[in-house]
Structure 1
């Protein structure tokens, strides 16, 4: 390397290195980990203490000046048991490199249905980030154990499902079911869609174990989108779903209106029926594209749904804004309580408000992690990069003490894995942080016609334990700390290495040309010097033979006198045919000399066939 620098010059060598590494960086591109600014409209899920993040939009650290959005084509995860220090504070490490090639769509507004029993999750719905779907929807599943995607084909149902984005989805590992309700159907979500973008009223289910895809009965015929849905273990064996908020099209003319958050829809998954119940308390303002997830008391006497953020809806809000508050809907009392900020009432908090986040309960519902979100209030170009856009809320207040109404947001703690009821909830429903709720129905009773719902909410669901449908004892190469790279990462490295090798080959060719040129120049000088020495030697010999005549008289330098002896060239030490030794060449490192090739009439020798570049 030192000789190379000396031959090229240090400045040229530095330029070469800068060009090389700049090209590699350009090929590989920015990283959602190393160059992160913020993310939104993605989908996420949790399996075995790993929080997976897929799709959506990502901004890199140049976003405040470039204002460029990028498709998040990476599949990554937060390892909740591998904490790293960031600015002196511990946070779950964010890891990339899981397999995801171009055959797997990158979407926003979809859902990841988790199946923790079989160690996989399914991707359903969403709008394609770039271009349009090139084929009909296929059930795609990421296999955690083998770090690969499996294609289970098109849904076996007729008519084919209308694939939507920004609906409400939830997957339930306990029952082996995935659900998706409403959303927007367009040519960005569904192949072959030729009509205008429209809101859907369809409700679909998918069985992980039987691979059966079904269209189920909807709450009504009114299309809805951008709301939220969770599962809770209430009612019969299959539990119940709870849907709320977002947009509704009540007039069958394409116009939209807010779906009030005091109207709660409950789906009985066992008997395939819906009910609508009025909620009371500190009702959140109308919003869409918020995120929700549920936790429940240790004794399941109350089920508590946490709602974060969201985008304002017109009407009644006339100015575009987003929210940064936390509300809790507690069932079966159907009461809203405000958790953050601690001021009572339904006044909203918009400072640092975001929409398009994802929310996940982790560590046995002890903590609630909010991932990402987009800002609507000034400055809209600020980064959310402290912990790769993730923030932690304690479901039972700080360290799950259960009695602190002011301390909700705090650092994640991987050692805490028990859930308690927060004081703001058990102050309303009775009991303690460990459960024992005494309020078992809404304050004003169940709405008319909800007799079955009132019976359902008095029961606790205990789904039968599922068994894996495949071998799951193999350690996970994708999430067990392995350094195995995904297909996308490998492809990027291969392309980058190919470009780098091309640059190196070009540089080496240039170096070779410089070395050969300088060697030829040096050889030319040496040959000229040798020729002159031979001329001088011959002149001395001639003067010795005829001391009265100088070799230089009546001659030109480089011209041999007719009386001078012949100087044929041969290998050192060979005979000249007259019995004497031929003149011996000086030693040289050049291959031409070693092969006995000389100079005639001061011209450099031609390299023999096969002469090497260096």
Structure 2
């Protein structure tokens, strides 16, 4: 090793130690400024928030991005008076042996009171693939044994995941493999084309095929209780057709559907007010009581081509497969605070809690009082009768709102 290399390694070690020291001195709630790339799981009135990256307040004095090593939760049975958002807590257990990653998923298992951590990438120094579960009752993490239809599984990041709790199944489609997901990765980043399924009852973690051979990442997938056994709907993000380190924007009119009962993929073309191509946005789904329409709400995201990010809301309504712009109401693409890397969780089919995101054109903190939480009343039935409104733990009904009815009809 040359003298220059030794100096570089020494400087890196000094910086790393300084960063760890600063991280240890921070309080995950009182020093909060931003969070993004995290995983969430909703179990028994608590929304657990794991991993991702954080920035500390004031961001002008804390310019680095840190790995979030805490497990936090938002109490969905509460609403803080000052912020109008669920009260957050940071008193749960997570030791250093448990992976702290970004772009993975926490599959919720309300029956067994557990959240399963799959995928995600490290900020540096990735570890071999492992599968962990958080026991909600015992407040402890356990490395989880599993069986699989393949000999080895590799960690992937920023794919699209969801779960179907009534079936006890978790799903994760696509995602990147790179030098932050896999030790010794020497090639270019590569997006996968596989659908990972997890059977929470048998502990089976299987690798299955996607709709085609094209690698995809940074899109979203939601569950819809339609068809005989339910559907998974995937859209957005980027595609990796050449696997040469480049990627292209996914067409937002192309909706990939996985029929759970038949294990078959289909593609449907959407119309209407098509959102601009984007990646690392967040989305959630709800539906009318009579299942006459299923409505997927999309928020924000990073741009792919000439736009850094978005601060808007679109609704994809099925079965008409119509895109509807819900926010801002005027015909404008202007964004006040464009950001991506957020999470979205639909609560009681009536509200969607959007958490976090990295702001692409601003150094402001993300609503410090609300800890980066923003709430939608999906049926516009909150106190303000608008889309964005204070969180209300008592609201549990969804009515198809006027912006959808005015386009597709119904009542």
Q: Structure 2 unaligned runs (5+)? A: 1-20
Aligned mates of 1:167, 1:266 — CA distance in 2: 16
Aligned mates of 1:325, 1:32 — CA distance in 2: 28
1:302 aligns with 2:293: yes
Contact 1:138 1:155 in 2 (8 A): no
1:423 aligns with 2:407: no
Name the residue aligned to 1:329.
316
> What secondary structure is seen at the aligned counterpart in 2 of 1:64?
coil
Q: TM-score, normalised by structure 1?
A: 0.61
1:113 aligns with 2:100: no
Name the residue aligned to 1:368.
352
1:145 aligns with 2:137: yes
Shift of 1:153: 2.6
Contact 2:343 2:356 in 1 (8 A): yes
Q: Which structure has the bigger radius of gyration?
A: 1
Name the residue aligned to 2:304.
313
> What secondary structure is seen at the aligned counterpart in 2 of 1:325?
strand
> 1:324-359: CA deviations, max 9, x gaps?
100000111100001111124xx4232111100001
Name the residue aligned to 2:126.
132
Aligned mates of 1:27, 1:47 — CA distance in 2: 28
Contact 1:112 1:171 in 2 (8 A): no
> What secondary structure is seen at the aligned counterpart in 2 of 1:164?
coil
1:240 aligns with 2:240: no
1:393 aligns with 2:370: no
Contact 1:222 1:252 in 2 (8 A): no
| Count of residues in correspondence between the two structures | 391
Which one of the candidate residues 305, 319, 328 is aligned to 1:341? 328
Contact 1:113 1:172 in 2 (8 A): no
Contact 2:188 2:245 in 1 (8 A): no
Aligned mates of 1:26, 1:201 — CA distance in 2: 39
Which one of the candidate residues 37, 40, 47 is aligned to 2:36? 40
Aligned mates of 1:274, 1:35 — CA distance in 2: 45
Contact 2:46 2:74 in 1 (8 A): yes
Name the residue aligned to 1:169.
161
> What secondary structure is seen at the aligned counterpart in 2 of 1:399?
coil
1:217 aligns with 2:201: no
Aligned mates of 1:273, 1:243 — CA distance in 2: 13
Residues 251 and 400 (structure 1), Cα distance of their counterparts in 2 relative to 1, 3 Å cut? farther
> What secondary structure is seen at the aligned counterpart in 2 of 1:126?
strand
Aligned mates of 1:411, 1:158 — CA distance in 2: 46
Aligned mates of 1:336, 1:83 — CA distance in 2: 32
Name the residue aligned to 1:99.
93
Residues 26 and 356 (structure 1), Cα distance of their counterparts in 2 relative to 1, 3 Å cut? closer
Shift of 1:198: 1.3
Hey, which of these two has a bigger chunk of strand by percent? 2
Contact 2:146 2:204 in 1 (8 A): no
Name the residue aligned to 2:339.
354
Shift of 1:192: 4.8
> 1:438-481: CA deviations, max 9, x gaps?
xxxxxxxxxxxxxxxxxxxxxxxxxxxxxxxxxxxxxxxxxxxx
Contact 1:394 1:400 in 2 (8 A): no
Shift of 1:62: 2.6
Name the residue aligned to 2:222.
230
> What secondary structure is seen at the aligned counterpart in 2 of 1:38?
strand
Shift of 1:38: 1.1
> What secondary structure is seen at the aligned counterpart in 2 of 1:82?
coil
> 1:294-317: CA deviations, max 9, x gaps?
011111111100000001112xx2
Name the residue aligned to 2:389.
410
Q: Structure 1 unaligned runs (5+)? A: 1-24, 433-614
Residues 255 and 71 (structure 1), Cα distance of their counterparts in 2 relative to 1, 3 Å cut? closer
Aligned mates of 1:92, 1:343 — CA distance in 2: 30
Contact 1:59 1:68 in 2 (8 A): yes
Residues 294 and 28 (structure 1), Cα distance of their counterparts in 2 relative to 1, 3 Å cut? same
Residues 383 and 305 (structure 1), Cα distance of their counterparts in 2 relative to 1, 3 Å cut? closer
> 1:245-266: CA deviations, max 9, x gaps?
0101234544311101101000
> What secondary structure is seen at the aligned counterpart in 1 of 2:370?
coil
Q: TM-score, normalised by structure 2?
A: 0.91
Name the residue aligned to 2:62.
66
Shift of 1:27: 9.4
Aligned mates of 1:108, 1:163 — CA distance in 2: 11
Residues 201 and 73 (structure 1), Cα distance of their counterparts in 2 relative to 1, 3 Å cut? same
Shift of 1:213: 1.4
Hey, which of these two has a bigger chunk of helix by percent? 1
Please, what is the CA RMSD of the aligned residues? 1.9
1:54 aligns with 2:33: no
